[in-house]
Amino acid sequence: MTRRMLITVPRALLLLTLLASLTSLLQARPAGAAAIGNPPSAGVKGTATAWDESGAQVIGHRFCVKRAGSWDYAGCGKALSAEVERQLCAVHGPGEHVYLLQLGDAAPVRRTQRCEATE
C-alpha cells in the first residue's frame, strides 16, 4: 500500500461513521412526528400540537411559553384550538370535524368542532 492509500482509508471510514451518525440523528423524532412534513418538535414538552383524526399528520403546532417555571399549556392550547377550528371550518365547511389536541408529551385528546353554514 502506498502512503497516500493509508491516509485515505481512515478518512473514508471516519466519513462513513459520521454520515451514519448524522443519518440516525436526523431520523430520531418523537413517535407521532414520523409522518412526512410533521415538525420534529410535534408532541414534545413545551408545545401544543393538533393532529388530524388519525393522529398521523400535524394540522397545527405552537411553541408554548413558560410562566413561573411551568409551561402555559392552557393559553397555548386555547390559542391553537381556536386557530385549528377556524381552519377546519374554512377548509371542510359545515358539519362536525374531529381532530386530536396534544399538550406537551401527554396523550392526544379527541376534540370535535361543529361548523355552522354561513349565509
User: With contact defined as beta carbons under 8 Å apart, do 32 and 57 qualify?
Assistant: no
pLDDT in tens, 20-79: 443 433 333 344 444 557 899 999 999 999 999 999 999 999 999 999 999 999 999 999
Q: Which H or E element spans position 111?
A: strand 109-115
pLDDT for 97 beyond 70: yes
Q: Which residues neighbour 100 within 8 Å (Cβ) at sequence distance 6 or greater?
A: 50, 51, 52, 53, 55, 108, 109, 110, 111
pLDDT at res. 117: 81
